[in-house]
Amino acid sequence: MPNDKLYTRIESAGVEGIKKTKLRREFGVKSGKAVDELLSQGLIFAEKRAGTVTYWSKDNYMQHLVSSDPKFRLIYDMYANTNSKISNTVSRISSNLDKKVSNITSEIIDSKVSNIASVIDKKVSNITSDLTEKVSSEVNRKVVNIVKEVKVAPSSTKDDGNHNGKHLTLDQFKMEFDRTIAEIPTSIGWVELAMIRERVCDKYSISKQNFYTFASQLFDQFNNSYELSSGGNEGVMVRGLVHGFVRCI
């Protein structure tokens, strides 16, 4: 079964998405491999709620989040608004640059025709530097405002745990795992396991393999406390599918 037919079916489901069970009824059990390939390519996204897995195409999943998650919609609107303002600022500065270059050229022609090339080069260089500074300042200011608006919490550097990975217990790992999830800013509840892994491995000097060994034990023993979602570049294997996102229940 070609992947493009499967992708077309998922995309046609719109922002509501299509459930895994319905997809299997239409395309058969062997469709699972094709779905995994589309997930690994980032062409579709999956989300599991109340034991039911639903699939969306990339654009439909974005619209689903915008319509269903107020915090995500706020960040999305702020991002779009910021891009629009920056684009308008660059256009305005570019227009002013054209006018200034035109005026400078006229002044040079009227006054010193023999020095046109050198004077224009100097003037354009100064204006270009001024344009770069203004755009950079505008971008930095907008980014800082966005960070303040969504109240992104800085990573905690408090050191109150055992940093020897050889003596790390599952209970200590769970405590650090839960604390790291709470520290990572997210608007939709899902956190990438890769982000958690980087912080925990740095703090406790454990390998990537040891981290996912602990993570697998954690999810097995406390499966009522966490919910996994497929996707991502790394994670734990569940029924042959990489699950790289987690959230607390």
117 with 170, same domain: the answer is no
Domain-embedded: residue 206: yes
Nearest to 149 by CA among 184, 180, 187: 187
Domain-embedded: residue 82: yes
242 with 171, same domain: the answer is yes
More confident: 73 or 226: 226
Q: CA 33 to CA 81: how far, in whole Å?
A: 40
CB distance 236 to 243 below 8 Å: yes
Domain-embedded: residue 11: yes
pLDDT tens-digit readout, 7-54: 999 999 999 999 999 999 999 888 889 999 999 999 999 999 999 999
The packing angle between helices 20-27 and 31-40, to 10°, is 130
Boundary (domain end) residue, out of 26, 50, 67: 67
Boundary (domain end) residue, out of 29, 52, 67: 67
Domain-embedded: residue 156: no
170 with 215, same domain: the answer is yes
Domain-embedded: residue 160: no
Boundary (domain end) residue, out of 31, 52, 67: 67
Domain-embedded: residue 28: yes
Q: Report the percent of the chain where pLDDT is more than 70.
A: 75
Domain-embedded: residue 227: yes
56 with 73, same domain: the answer is no
Q: Name the residue range of residue 80's domain.
A: 69-149
Q: CA 126 to CA 138: how far, in whole Å?
A: 18
Query: Which secondary-structure segment (H or E) carries 175?
Result: helix 170-183
Domain-embedded: residue 111: yes
pTM for the predicted model, two decimal places: 0.35
Nearest to 231 by CA among 82, 100, 56: 56
pLDDT tens-digit readout, 196-212: 999 999 999 999 999 99
179 with 216, same domain: the answer is yes
Residue 133 confidence (pLDDT):
75
110 with 37, same domain: the answer is no
Q: How many domains does the chain have?
A: 3
Supply the CATH number for residue 169's domain: 1.10.10
Return the bridge partners of 228, or none: 246
Share the mean pLDDT of the chain: 80
